[in-house]
Amino acid sequence: MTGDTQQSRGPLAGIRVVELGGIGPGPFCGMILADMGADVIRVDRPAEHGTRPRLPVLHRNRRSVTVDLKSPAGVATVLRLIDSADALIEGFRPGVTERLGIGPDACLARNRRLVYGRMTGWGQDGPLAQEPGHDINYIALAGALNAIGPREGDPVVPLNLVGDMGGGGMLLALGIAAALLHARTTGQGQVVDAAMTDGTALQLALIHSLMAAGRWNDRRESNLFDGGAPFYRTYRTADDRHLAVGAYEPQFYANLLRVLGLTDDPLFAAQHDTGAWPKMCARFAELFATRTRDEWTREFAGSEACVSPVLDFTEAAAHPHNAGRGTYSTDAGHLQPGPAPRFLGTPAGPPRSASLIGSHTDEVLAEAGLDSAAVQALRDQHIVG
């Protein structure tokens, strides 16, 4: 089955992407592009041939080949794939692909329309470019981690959503899509340098806007959207679960007070009186602790007060809204999110399970022009799986 037959739905149908195997944000970028219809060919190590991917959701919708990138013949094989590709994804430290012989100069010399997507934490240059790191390091240096958590406590790690996924993989997917448009218009490819520190900083644009307007201070849990505002935070309920309250606009705040029976309470008359916020928070906390999460959820249903239950992963998948939209699905026992965003003109197909590593090696190499004898010769030398 060729890539065009296998992956023909979505706005990126007809786009071919070579993904050099990596972890975290690089595969997330590949997943997004594959979800949108691109034929993403992941290059993995021969030692992994025939095994199941450790991260099956991130590896969905791909074809997989196994090639030894440390051998000249393996590099030559990957360059054959790149010759017919529209984009490439790599997540090594700066300079690694250059040393392997598959850096931007080598690839663009063969395929001038290629979009060469590079995913790193610190970027391709700068004093820390060669230093190791992870999501927590990148969001710390970008200023985001310091802003998340309780006022008197320690910064709280927001999963790896801010750096790896939002500031990394999703940013690179956007960069590649933009560069593909440019290449289609001009015939000229380019390098996309996606750094998680840059992407994290970019996501702080609203916060920096509020700071510039004098509406944000750099102290945790003392601002509108960091848990400091009584009308924009979580509260514990009687059953040790939680509600999320987001009644920021005045009309929603009024509805919140109405349901809680506090409309005439003078403590809540001035919504943005920051001096009263601690007492307001305490009073809200007392009230929400008197009922269970689901009791409050029923009480607030239809009230337009922006109050929602805090759900775990299983509950989120089963919620009527998410179930109605198909936001989550289950594949081979794995709960997974559906493709997003949604395209009404070129809808994406349902996610396909992650393939066994290397299961498309012969197929993909045949598409690149290697006959069965050439592939067998590479296999005999342990260059492909």
The catalytic residue among 105, 134, 218, 294 is 134
Check: CB of residue 207 under 8 Å from CB of residue 147: yes
Provide the pairing of β-strand 334-337 with 328-331: antiparallel
Separation between Cα atoms, residue 353 and residue 56, nearest integer Å: 7
Instruction: Say if CB 123 and CB 55 are below 8 A apart.
Output: no
E strands, the chain, in order: 16-20, 39-44, 62-66, 87-90, 115-120, 190-195, 232-236, 242-246, 307-309, 328-331, 334-337
Distance CA 209, CA 199 (A): 16
The residue assigned the tokens 């997330």 is 28
- The bridge status of strand 232-236 relative to strand 334-337 is unpaired
Q: Is 134 a catalytic residue?
A: yes
Are 208 and 142 within 8 A, CB to CB? no
In contact, 346 and 10? CB cutoff 8 Å: yes
The whole-angstrom separation of Cα 372 and Cα 354 is 25
**Under a CB-based contact definition with an 8 Å cutoff, are residues 37 and 7 in contact?**
yes
Could you tell me the two tokens for 295? 């009791």
Catalytic one among 44, 86, 164, 193?
164
Instruction: Please say if 83 is a catalytic residue.
Output: no
Q: How many CB atoms lie within 10 A of CB 150?
A: 13
Residues tagged active-site: 134, 164
